Amino acid sequence: MSVGLQLLVTVCRQEDFSQLRRLSAELFVGEEEQRAYTYVVEHSRRYGGLPDITTVAREARVELSAAPESVAYYLDKVRNRHFHNQVVPLLQAARTAVVEQRDDRLQTLVAQLGVTARRVESREYFCNGAQLMDYVVEQYQYAHYHPGMTGVATGWTTLDEITGGYQPADLITWVARMGVGKTMVLLYQAWQAWQAGHRVLFISLEMSQKGIGDRFAGLNAGLDSGQIRRGMLSTYGQRQLVEAQQAVRADARIHFYAGQENRSVTQVDALIQEVRPEIVFIDGLYLLQPTLPVGVKKPLGFYEQVPLVVRELKHLAVLRHIPIVCTSQFNRAAGKGGRQGSMESLGYTDVIGQDSSIVLSLHPPLPPNDQLFRVVDILKGREGEIGKFQIHYRFNPPNFLETAPGEGDMEDTSGSAVTMDWAL
């Protein structure tokens, strides 16, 4: 089975319209691949869902078999093939021009090579009006026939209902004061995404591998990470830890990078290309190093670096078509614990608010519940949505679920755990 047919098999198997949108007819070669691609597109538009591979085989008159790798793997193969088919004829012509010493012809071919490379690289972003409308209709049909979640679930019903989950190309930023627990809350979301079947990359620039590992093990085993760190588990707890270890060994869909070494957005992109995650979590975006603009040789100051990092991360989310979820900090104007935090009190740079699709704050409720709960405030949504809800914040056993109405009454909600205001 050709690589183009393998790609279509994996796309249909995942039933994800966003993957189909990334394809185009020019990527498929030969009559069989073209017939199969055309049928998948027409079926999706007519019936609002991707066809079963047995249906594709029958209706498109092609033989299909299992395709064990991911969509990203086959998509790379197909794109590389397309790039090869586009570039090789130009290279051969350029070689002839060099031999014949036809400098004018060589200059033209070199220019054509550059245009071809840029066109292939930008294939996901350039389209005509008809293609744009096709994309909108495809997305509508998917949302119509698959109501509810369309992105990566966060693990909290209120946030999922407001956002539809974290979407490809989203830059999502969580902000809080120091010591509130944003690393643990970020890790919980990564764990939830992994549990839901997504491929996850978690990068912490604030904690060690041991610190992240203890917390991840606690989530998996249902144990207090502090007891794991101190070696104080009961016999039953040790058995739970070993069982969790064995379960994770069988599932390689979550990857971690942890450490306080200087890391750049370019290195983050290298990790993304190596791991091919469906969502990325970055703890401490302000500790990343930007790619310096052309012509800038001297080191930039800290407050000059952060805006560039945010812009690069947004570009990276769009380029790799994945959501990137980050943490940052409030400035002192957010008050003790960050309870007065707003879009005006974001630390380091206003670019966080400008470039993030969603901005969320995390802070403890008023005493006596400030040790047991955390309040999540949606400061910015994609379409102007705002809202507030409360989650548990407990480690023994781990519990970061959304609270029920009235449980640990959240301030300013008259006893309700959830308030939502819509500004559409």
Q: Kindly report, residue by residue over 212-266, the tens digit of the pLDDT.
A: 999 999 999 999 999 999 999 999 999 999 998 988 887 878 999 987 666 888 8
Band (pLDDT 50/70/90 cuts) for residue 422 is: very low
pLDDT value of residue 177: 94
pLDDT value of residue 18: 66
Q: What percentage of the chain reaches a pLDDT higher than 90?
A: 45
pLDDT value of residue 192: 94
pLDDT value of residue 147: 58
Mean pLDDT, to the nearest integer, of 84-113? 80
pLDDT value of residue 146: 55
The per-residue pLDDT of the chain, averaged, comes to 84
Mean pLDDT, to the nearest integer, of 97-102? 84
Residue 326 pLDDT more than 50? yes
Residue 118 pLDDT more than 60? no
Band (pLDDT 50/70/90 cuts) for residue 413 is: very low
Cβ atoms within 10 Å, residue 372: 15
CA distances from 270 to 17, 264, 274, 277 (A): 26, 10, 6, 12
User: Would you say 410 and 374 are in contact if contact means Cβ atoms under 8 Å apart?
Assistant: no
Mean pLDDT, to the nearest integer, of 68-73? 83
pLDDT value of residue 420: 35
Mean pLDDT, to the nearest integer, of 41-57? 85
CA-CA distance, 248 to 251, in Å (whole number)?
Answer: 5
Q: Which of 113-117, 194-198, 299-303 has the highest mean pLDDT?
A: 194-198
Mean pLDDT, to the nearest integer, of 353-376? 94
For 72-81, 132-141, 290-299, 385-394, which range has the lowest pLDDT when averaged over its residues?
Answer: 290-299
Alpha-helix runs per DSSP H in 100-128: 103-121
Helix (H) or strand (E) holding 171, with range, is strand 171-176
pLDDT value of residue 224: 92
Band (pLDDT 50/70/90 cuts) for residue 201 is: very high
Mean pLDDT, to the nearest integer, of 307-321? 92
N- to C-terminal Cα separation, the chain = 49
Which carries the bigger pLDDT value, residue 175 or residue 302?
175
User: Would you say 225 and 276 are in contact if contact means Cβ atoms under 8 Å apart?
Assistant: no
Band (pLDDT 50/70/90 cuts) for residue 143 is: low
Mean pLDDT, to the nearest integer, of 52-80? 88
User: Would you say 244 and 217 are in contact if contact means Cβ atoms under 8 Å apart?
Assistant: yes
Residue 206 pLDDT more than 70? yes
CA-CA distance, 42 to 265, in Å (whole number)?
Answer: 39
| Residue 47 CB contacts under 8 Å (≥ 6 apart), including other chains | none
